[in-house]
């Protein structure tokens, strides 16, 4: 079979037939990584290769021959963002400060996927501390976008985004605090869901903001996304936030369906906010026009002064994540003394982190105990943001809200990336999905759809409809 762009289901069928093994599949991806990641376009998307990957694949092949497959993920090679703890492999969080740190345990989501039978192929590069959206870190430098290697792949999960777009694995893991799954999905022509806060466990993911952090896959198709999510979601007794998911029994793949004749609200203010936004906005409008013609979607353009005002807050709505970073990293370092740092101040005092993350870390370091009342006010403000979004949905009888995942195409390497729309989901806890909408020149554009809490299945359905009727997935030219 042609393994480029092959889906999880087609790979499983081929392995079940005996004409493909997990060892062959793993070697295929290792060969592509060797060809394209450190030479060729030198995407620099892989931080560490798992030296035991082929051995593990062989064991899974033997298990399949004797007992059959554990799940649809049996023998499927995946890549994992380097802020997930992984047993037997380093977890660097993109920083030279954590070089060699290997926690000896798996993050909860990694453990669940291993139980489902995946082959952990390696770890991907990321924005240092997950604090930014251009995917630069002191341990690896800049990661490049396979659609244009002179540009960034988004972040902070940009290594996973670039690697999956370039077919270095079947699928991979990222994490989203404010756009860190959805932006790389948009800029690498992939699908990525920021689930309802609490949909899956954060345990074992190095924290940026415990209030906003959530893990999730980056995939080439919605069906692959559904298969991954089915194995990842659910209650974890060691992450109290996942108790919110109790009573929501999702079966994403089994219930995936086309949704025609829906009502979608297009957020006008989140299409064009500043100069340079019009190019991406044009691609989004074309995609929604296509959905109107092909699937009978009714598109209603909306404005909301209430929503705008609810997000006009200290640090432009980023106060909570800036405050959380200091508190959460301090707690993580104290719980893991083998990392060698007592707190964030000691960590940053060495000055070894990349200059591109310094402005953000300085904002977090400036937080003091007297900022606590402001923090709790901002936490309460999240209910106001959520209510403003829900009012828009309710008063206009909408199935979802639509806007670009990021209003600018990928910026050149070394330049700041502008145009993020990450706050709508991150500051409300509501789910949002990014799905390929089209291209501006050679650069991908992502359509983001947001819906009410626990409407994650509906969002997958809507993205599946876009993918089925307005398919935009195509190979990047730099990694043929």
Show which residues are catalytic: 81, 156, 180
217, 164 contact by CB (below 8 A): no
Two tokens, residue 47: 């931080």
CB contact at 8 A, 154 and 133:
yes
Instruction: Please state, in angstroms and rounded to a whole number, the distance separating the CA atoms of residues 93 and 205.
Output: 9
Name which of 466, 468, 458 is nearest 195 in CA terms: 458
Which residues 6+ apart lie within 8 Å of 133 measured at CB?
A: 127, 154, 155, 156, 158, 179, 180, 183, 406, 417, 420
d(CA 266, CA 409): 19
First to last CA, the chain: 16
In terms of Cβ atoms closer than 10 Å to its own Cβ (0-12, 13-18, 19+), residue 34 is middle
Helix (H, G, I), strand (E, B) or coil at 169: coil
Phi (first) and psi of residue 120, to 5 degrees? -80, 105
Smallest CA-to-CA distance from 153 within 222, 92, 168 is with 168
Helix or strand run (H / E) with residue 56: helix 53-67
Residue pair 432/424 in contact (Cβ under 8 Å)? The answer is yes
Residue 200 DSSP one-character state: S
Per-residue DSSP letter, 366: T
Query: Can you read off the two tokens belonging to residue 333?
Result: 């370092």
For residues 206 and 175, give the distance between their C-alpha atoms in angstroms, rounded to a whole number: 10
Measured between alpha carbons, how far is 185 from 191 in angstroms, rounded to an integer? Answer: 5
How many CB atoms are closer than 10 A to CB 448? 32
407 CB neighbour count, 10 Å cutoff: 23
- Please choose, from the candidates 125, 230, 240, 231, the residue with its C-alpha nearest in 3D space to the C-alpha of residue 184: 125
For residue 383 the two structure tokens come to 């209910």
Give the H or E element holding residue 400.
strand 400-404
Phi-psi region of 265 (alpha: psi -120 to 50; beta: other; left: phi over 0): beta
Helices (H) and strands (E) in the chain, counts: 15, 13
């Amino acid at each position: 079979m042609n393994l480029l762009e092959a889906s999880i289901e087609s790979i499983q069928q081929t392995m079940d037939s005996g004409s493909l093994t997990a060892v062959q599949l793993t070697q295929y991806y290792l060969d592509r990584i060797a060809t394209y990641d450190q030479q060729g376009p030198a995407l620099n998307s892989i931080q560490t290769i798992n030296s035991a990957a082929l051995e593990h694949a062989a064991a899974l092949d033997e298990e399949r021959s004797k007992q059959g497959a554990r799940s649809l993920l049996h023998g499927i090679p995946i890549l994992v963002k380097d802020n997930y703890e992984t047993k037997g492999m380093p977890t660097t969080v993109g920083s030279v400060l954590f070089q060699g740190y290997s926690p000896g345990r798996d993050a909860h989501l990694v453990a669940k996927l291993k139980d489902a039978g995946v082959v952990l192929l390696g770890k991907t590069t990321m924005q240092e501390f997950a604090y930014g959206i251009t995917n630069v870190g002191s341990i690896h430098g800049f990661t490049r976008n396979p659609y244009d290697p002179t540009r960034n792949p988004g972040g902070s999960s940009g290594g996973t985004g670039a690697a999956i777009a370039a077919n270095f694995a079947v699928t991979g893991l990222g994490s989203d605090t404010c756009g860190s799954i959805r932006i790389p999905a948009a800029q690498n022509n992939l699908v990525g869901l920021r689930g309802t806060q609490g949909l899956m466990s954060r345990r074992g993911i190095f924290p940026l903001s415990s209030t906003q952090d959530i893990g999730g896959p980056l995939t080439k198709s919605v069906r692959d996304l559904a298969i991954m999510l089915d194995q990842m979601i659910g209650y974890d007794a060691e992450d109290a936030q996942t108790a919110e998911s109790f009573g929501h029994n999702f079966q994403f793949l089994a219930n995936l369906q086309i949704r025609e004749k829906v009502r979608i609200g297009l957020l006008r203010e989140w299409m064009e906010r500043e100069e340079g936004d019009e190019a991406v906005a044009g691609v989004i409008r074309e995609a929604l026009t296509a959905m109107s013609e092909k699937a009978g979607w009714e598109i209603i353009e909306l404005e909301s002064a209430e929503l705008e005002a609810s997000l006009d807050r200290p640090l432009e709505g980023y106060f909570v994540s800036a405050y959380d970073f200091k508190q959460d990293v301090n707690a993580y370092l104290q719980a893991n003394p083998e990392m060698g740092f007592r707190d964030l101040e000691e960590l940053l005092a060495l000055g070894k982190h990349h200059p591109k993350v310094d402005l953000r870390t300085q904002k977090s370091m400036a937080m003091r105990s007297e900022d606590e009342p402001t923090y709790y006010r901002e936490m309460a403000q999240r209910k106001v943001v959520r209510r403003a979004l829900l009012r828009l949905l309710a008063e206009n009888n909408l199935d979802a809200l639509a806007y670009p995942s990021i209003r600018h195409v990928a910026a050149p390497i070394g330049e700041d990336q502008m145009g993020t729309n990450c706050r709508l989901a991150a500051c409300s806890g509501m789910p949002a999905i990014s799905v390929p909408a089209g291209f501006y020149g050679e650069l991908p554009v992502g359509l983001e759809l947001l819906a009410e809490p626990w409407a994650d299945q509906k969002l997958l359905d809507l993205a599946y409809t876009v993918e089925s009727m307005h398919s935009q997935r195509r190979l990047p030219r730099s990694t043929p």
